[in-house]
């Protein structure tokens, strides 16, 4: 086919924003649409090659796959092999297991399916997946399995039937994408049936231009490049993709392919030597950038600095030039005599893939080759892997309004009922096991119940779709139980500020919690919730907290109110394990006390207004902050004193620090009140 330099330039326009997006450059919030541009280009080029060869009677399926193998596999295998020593040296066991599985999936061209099942493309964990970007290669390869066979079957029916069939397939795929953006967004992002229309858009361009001179139209080609760039700068992680929004970059790319003929402004710009040079190495550049960024994030205890990401971007360009020159070009042109024939290159591809899959299988052994890690790292990860089992028993998540109270496993031993109950969300669930042990040792009774993502009261709804309406039903049942039994003291433990702000905690030092926005509103407004940043909603929720606490006090109950527990932001055991692997001393580990106070200022100020003789307030910040280390909220003191099992939940060691003040408060309130309400 005739070489089109503007297509090379368009590849550069596609790959650079993808890299800058993955590097965290805020301006390119929609840089991921570069992949969609690649899909259209691939569809155009592959269809042109196949259709032209068919018209000449020269197309063979073996020859097609030989060319694909020469183009795709050598650099891909090279990149995977180069990842192996860094994975061995730096990856935690869970990361190694995931990486090993991804090697197998890449070799089988199903990595898109694997990453669909593991996590979303924009999830924090995805940034540490060295082979995440191969999902798009898998989509293309799956397309290459079906599409050549389709064209072979349609060839005998003529150009019109061929075009109409491809158009119909594109429309069906687009309709599935639009539906999937709402019904199954993660699957729609990764799977081929909702991505095929983008490749088919390029195929349609190829069929339109087949045996025709390319027209030049300044207006249409300019509209095309503007549409592509607009998506890169205006879209972000919240834009549904693929969806109707994807029409802009896909349609824009199609307009460039169709109308950026010689002499047009877009053709001249895209044909600039710098852009065409980047376009030539774009495949290698795409393959190298994600492993470099992922391993930098794995190796660093916090998010790499912009300077580091800039250096890695330059390194990706240099590696791309080298692999294009010494790997891509020799294999693609058949210069390597030993692999000059089609059967040989296909056989060699299968052999190397089998070796890599065997390596991947080994990487899944022994829980991700855990023997590589020093004892300190294993000790830290053990805290993460084994939160107190009472949390699994007494932290509910299905809104069980008809829960058969009391749940005996959530009570101190040898009692039928307790006059003290602890309620709240997962922050209460995390300390349940230690609370039951401490109350038993102190000769006190306790019943502990909690529900994920619920503040501890009925009358509230949360934005999290899973728990949206469950909080009201679960805590209505708990409140009915409290009212019908001789409960005297209520301990309240919740992540109060989360329900006001709805945002993940950022400790300001590179630790940003992996959490989707989860905020609360009144149950009566479940069909008209205020937004995450709506100040009126925050005021409503905070007022509801205070009203419910006062209602318990006014009805004669004792209340032990636990203020917000400090959040860590980073996964504490994970960070400590990585520090041990790299020989970095981070103990004692902590975060800014000022950051804690800023995060929880509204809740603290509101709770400070509450005064009542049956109310005792517990300040976790007085225990964790400005105590072990000045101006810091401590996360751990050593690998045998780790206070969190993730980025915000207390471990047993952390819960133990809270127990004595809580027990003292219960004893005080029990002694000062003689009758149940």
Residue 120: band (very low, low, confident or very high) from pLDDT cuts 50, 70, 90: low
| In the predicted structure, residue 334 carries a pLDDT above the cut 80 | no
User: Looking at residues 460-489, what average pLDDT do you find?
Assistant: 91
Which residues, other chains included, contact 362 with Cβ-Cβ below 8 Å and sequence gap of 6+? 100, 369
* Residue 398 three-state SS: coil
Burial class (CB in 10 A: 0-12, 13-18, 19+), 2: exposed
| In the predicted structure, residue 335 carries a pLDDT above the cut 70 | no
Its pTM stands at 0.86
| In the predicted structure, residue 341 carries a pLDDT above the cut 70 | no
Give how far the C-alpha of residue 72 lies from the chain's centroid of Cα atoms, to the nearest Å: 27
Element (H, E) at 562: strand 558-562
For residue 267, which phi and psi values (nearest 5 degrees)? Answer: -60, -45
For residue 109, which phi and psi values (nearest 5 degrees)? Answer: 60, 40
Q: What is the DSSP letter of 465?
A: T
Position 675 scores a pLDDT of 62
For the stretch 512-527, pLDDT in tens is 887 777 899 999 998 8
Tell me, letter by letter, the H, E, C secondary structure of 266-297: HHHHHCCHHHHHHHHCHHHHHHHHHHHHHHHH
For residue 552, which phi and psi values (nearest 5 degrees)? Answer: -60, -45
Indicate the domain borders of the chain: 5-372, 388-565+594-620+652-670
| Cα–Cα distance measured from residue 430 to residue 656, given in angstroms and rounded to the nearest whole number | 11
Q: Nearest-5° angle of CA 371, CA 299, CA 358?
A: 50
For residue 137, which phi and psi values (nearest 5 degrees)? Answer: -65, -40
Q: Between 2.30.230, 3.40.50, 3.20.20, 3.40.109, what CATH number should domain 388-565+594-620+652-670 receive?
A: 3.40.50
For the stretch 234-292, pLDDT in tens is 998 889 999 999 999 999 999 999 999 999 999 999 999 999 999 999 999 999 999 99
Give how far the C-alpha of residue 539 lies from the chain's centroid of Cα atoms, to the nearest Å: 31
Residue 146: band (very low, low, confident or very high) from pLDDT cuts 50, 70, 90: very high
Q: Are 63 and 221 in contact (CB under 8 A)?
A: no
Q: How far apart are the first and last CA of the chain?
A: 87
Comparing 326-340, 477-491, 581-595, the range with the smallest average pLDDT is 326-340
| Cα–Cα distance measured from residue 637 to residue 620, given in angstroms and rounded to the nearest whole number | 17
Position 44 scores a pLDDT of 96
For the stretch 475-500, pLDDT in tens is 999 999 999 998 999 999 999 999 99
* Mean pLDDT score across all residues of the chain: 92
| In the predicted structure, residue 360 carries a pLDDT above the cut 90 | yes
Comparing 29-43, 166-180, 359-373, the range with the smallest average pLDDT is 359-373
For the stretch 531-541, pLDDT in tens is 888 999 999 99
Position 38 scores a pLDDT of 97
* Residue 459 three-state SS: coil
| In the predicted structure, residue 366 carries a pLDDT above the cut 90 | no
| Cα–Cα distance measured from residue 635 to residue 629, given in angstroms and rounded to the nearest whole number | 11
Q: How long is the chain?
A: 677
For the stretch 44-91, pLDDT in tens is 999 999 999 988 888 888 889 988 998 899 999 999 999 999 999 999
Q: What is the DSSP letter of 619?
A: -
Which of 561, 409, 412, 405 has its CA nearest to residue 491? Answer: 561
């Amino acid at each position: 086919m005739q070489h089109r330099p503007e297509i090379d330039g368009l590849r550069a326009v596609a790959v650079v924003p993808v890299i800058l997006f993955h590097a965290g450059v805020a301006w390119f919030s929609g840089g991921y649409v570069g992949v969609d541009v690649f899909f259209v280009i691939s569809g155009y080029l592959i269809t042109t090659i196949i259709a032209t060869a068919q018209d000449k009677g020269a197309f063979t399926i073996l020859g097609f796959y030989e060319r694909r193998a020469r183009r795709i596999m050598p650099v891909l295998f090279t990149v995977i092999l180069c990842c192996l020593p860094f994975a061995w040296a730096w990856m935690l066991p869970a990361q190694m297991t995931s990486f090993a599985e991804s090697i197998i999936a890449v070799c089988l061209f199903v990595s898109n399916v694997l990453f669909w099942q593991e996590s979303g493309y924009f999830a924090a964990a995805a940034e540490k997946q060295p082979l995440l970007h191969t999902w798009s290669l898998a989509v293309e390869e799956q397309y290459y399995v079906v599409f050549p066979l389709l064209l072979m079957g349609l060839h005998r029916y003529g150009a019109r039937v061929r075009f109409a069939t491809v158009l119909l397939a594109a429309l069906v795929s687009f309709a599935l994408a639009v539906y999937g953006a709402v019904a199954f967004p993660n699957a729609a992002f990764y799977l081929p049936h909702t991505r095929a229309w983008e490749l088919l858009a390029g195929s349609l361009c190829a069929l339109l231009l087949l045996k025709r001179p390319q027209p030049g139209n300044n207006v249409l080609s300019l509209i095309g490049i503007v549409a592509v760039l607009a998506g890169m700068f205006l879209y972000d992680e919240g834009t549904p993709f693929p969806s109707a929004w994807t029409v802009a970059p896909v349609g824009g790319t199609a307009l460039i392919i169709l109308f950026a003929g010689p002499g047009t402004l877009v053709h001249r710009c895209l044909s600039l030597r710098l852009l065409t040079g980047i376009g030539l190495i774009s495949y290698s550049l795409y393959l190298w950038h994600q492993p470099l960024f992922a391993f930098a994030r794995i190796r660093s205890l916090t998010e790499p600095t912009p300077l580091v990401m800039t250096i890695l971007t330059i390194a990706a360009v240099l590696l791309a030039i080298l692999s294009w020159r010494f790997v891509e070009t020799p294999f693609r042109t058949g210069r390597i005599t030993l692999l000059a024939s089609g059967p040989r290159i296909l056989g060699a591809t299968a052999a190397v893939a089998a070796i890599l899959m065997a390596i991947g299988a080994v990487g899944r052994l022994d829980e991700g080759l855990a023997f590589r890690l020093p004892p300190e790292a294993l000790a830290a990860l053990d805290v993460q892997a084994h939160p107190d089992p009472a949390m699994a028993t007494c932290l509910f998540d299905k809104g069980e309004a008809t829960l058969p109270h009391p749940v005996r496993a959530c009570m101190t031993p040898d009692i039928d009922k307790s006059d003290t109950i602890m309620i709240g969300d997962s922050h209460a669930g995390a300390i349940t096991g230690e609370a039951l042990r401490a109350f038993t040792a102190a000769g006190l009774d306790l019943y502990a119940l909690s529900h994920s993502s619920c503040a501890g009261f009925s009358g509230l709804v949360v934005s999290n779709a899973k728990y949206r309406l469950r909080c009201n039903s679960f805590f209505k049942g708990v409140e009915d139980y409290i009212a019908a039994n001789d409960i005297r003291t209520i301990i309240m433990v919740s992540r109060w500020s989360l329900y006001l702000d709805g945002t993940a905690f950022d400790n300001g030092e590179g630790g940003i919690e992996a959490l989707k926005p989860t905020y609360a509103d009144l149950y009566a407004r479940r069909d008209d919730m205020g937004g995450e940043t709506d100040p009126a909603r925050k005021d409503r929720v905070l007022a509801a907290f205070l009203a419910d606490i006062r209602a318990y006090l006014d009805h004669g109950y004792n209340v032990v109110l636990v203020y917000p527990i400090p959040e860590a932001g980073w996964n504490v055991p994970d960070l400590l394990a990585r520090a041990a692997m790299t020989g970095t001393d981070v103990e004692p580990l902590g975060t800014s006390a000022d950051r804690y106070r800023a995060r929880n200022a509204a809740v603290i100020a509101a709770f400070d207004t509450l005064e009542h003789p049956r109310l005792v307030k517990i300040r976790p910040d007085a225990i964790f902050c400005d105590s072990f280390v000045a101006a810091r909220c401590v996360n751990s003191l050593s690998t045998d004193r780790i206070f969190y099992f993730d980025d915000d939940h207390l471990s047993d060691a952390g819960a133990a620090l809270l127990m004595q003040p809580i027990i003292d408060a219960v004893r005080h309130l029990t002694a000062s009140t003689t009758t149940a309400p």
